[in-house]
Amino acid sequence: MTEQKSYDVIVVGAGPGGYICAIRAAQLGLRTAIVDKQWLGGVCLNVGCVPSKSLLWNAEIAHIMRDRANEFGISCEKLQLDYPAAVKRSRKASDRLTKGVALLMRRNNIDVFLGSAYLSARNMVRVTAEDGQQQEIIAKNIVVATGAHTALIPGWEVDGEHIITYLEAILQERLPKSVVIIGAGAIGMEFATIWSSYGTEVTIVEMLPQVLPLADAEVSAELEKAFKRRRIKILTDHRVQSVKKTQDGISVQVSHTDKELTLEAEQALVAIGFRPNTAGLGLEEVGVELDKRGFIQIDERMSTSVPGIWSIGDVTGRLLLAHVASAQGIVCAENIAAVETVKLDYRMMPSAVFSNPQVAYFGFTEEQAKQAGHEIKVGRFPFLANGKSLGMGETIGFIKIIEDTSTHALLGAHMIGPEVSELLPELTLAWQHGLTSADIGRNVHTHPTLSEVIMEAAHDVEGHAIHK
Q: What is the mean pLDDT of residues 460-464?
A: 95
Which tens digits make up the pLDDT trace of 117-160?
Answer: 999 999 999 999 999 999 999 999 999 999 999 999 998 989 99
Distance CA 102, CA 439 (A): 42
Q: Confirm whether 5-47+87-149+275-346 and 163-272 share one CATH topology.
A: yes
Q: What is the pLDDT of residue 380?
A: 98
201: Cβ–Cβ under 8 A, 6 or more apart, which residues? 177, 178, 179, 265
Q: What is the pLDDT of residue 2?
A: 58
Residue type (1 letter), 248: D
Which residues belong to the active site?
A: 447
Fold of 163-272: FAD/NAD(P)-binding domain (3.50.50)
Q: What is the mean pLDDT of residues 6-31?
A: 98
**Residue 283 near residue 308 (C-beta atoms within 8 A):** no
3-state SS, one letter per residue, for the chain = CCCCEEEEEEEECCCCCHHHHHHHHHHCCCCEEEEECCCCCHHHHHHCHHHHHHHHHHHHHHHHHHHHHHHHCCCCCCCCCCHHHHHHHHHHHHHHHHHHHHHHHHHCCCEEEECEEEEEECCEEEEECCCCCEEEEEEEEEEECCCEEECCCCCCCCCCCCEECHHHHHHCCCCCCEEEEECCCHHHHHHHHHHHHCCCEEEEEECCCCCCCCCCHHHHHHHHHHHHHCCCEEEECCEEEEEEECCCCEEEEEEECCEEEEEEECEEEECCCEEECCCCCCCCCCCCCECCCCCECCCCCCECCCCCEEECHHHHCCCCCHHHHHHHHHHHHHHHCCCCCCCCCHHHCCEEECCCCEEEEEECCHHHHHHCCCCEEEEEEEHHHCHHHHHHCCCCCEEEEEEECCCCCEEEEEEEECCHHHHHHHHHHHHHCCCCHHHHHHCCCCCCCCCHHHHHHHHHHCCCCCCC
Residues of the chain above pLDDT 70, percent: 99
Which tens digits make up the pLDDT trace of 170-228?
Answer: 999 999 999 999 999 999 999 999 999 999 999 999 999 999 999 999 999 999 999 99
Which tens digits make up the pLDDT trace of 286-310?
Answer: 999 999 999 999 999 999 999 999 9
Maximal C-alpha separation, the chain = 71
**Residue 369 near residue 376 (C-beta atoms within 8 A):** yes
Identify which has the larger pLDDT, 63 or 258. Answer: 63
* Res. 468 pLDDT band, cuts 50 70 90: confident
Domain coordinates in residue numbering, the chain: 5-47+87-149+275-346, 163-272, 357-461
262: Cβ–Cβ under 8 A, 6 or more apart, which residues? 251, 252, 253, 254
Q: What is the pLDDT of residue 1?
A: 52
Q: What is the mean pLDDT of residues 325-332?
A: 98
* Res. 3 pLDDT band, cuts 50 70 90: low
Domain 5-47+87-149+275-346 homologous superfamily, CATH: FAD/NAD(P)-binding domain (3.50.50.60)
Query: Per-residue pLDDT for 77 more than 90?
Result: no
Closest to 86 measured CA to CA, from 172, 181, 186:
172
Architecture of domain 357-461: 2-Layer Sandwich (3.30)
Which tens digits make up the pLDDT trace of 403-444?
Answer: 999 999 999 999 999 999 999 999 999 999 999 999 999 999
Distance CA 455, CA 442 (A): 8
Q: What is the CA radius of gyration of the chain?
A: 24
Which tens digits make up the pLDDT trace of 213-272?
Answer: 999 999 999 999 999 999 999 999 999 999 999 998 999 999 998 899 999 999 999 999
**Residue 381 near residue 323 (C-beta atoms within 8 A):** no
What Å distances lie between residue 242 and 154, 179, 185, 267, 335, CA to CA? 10, 15, 19, 14, 47
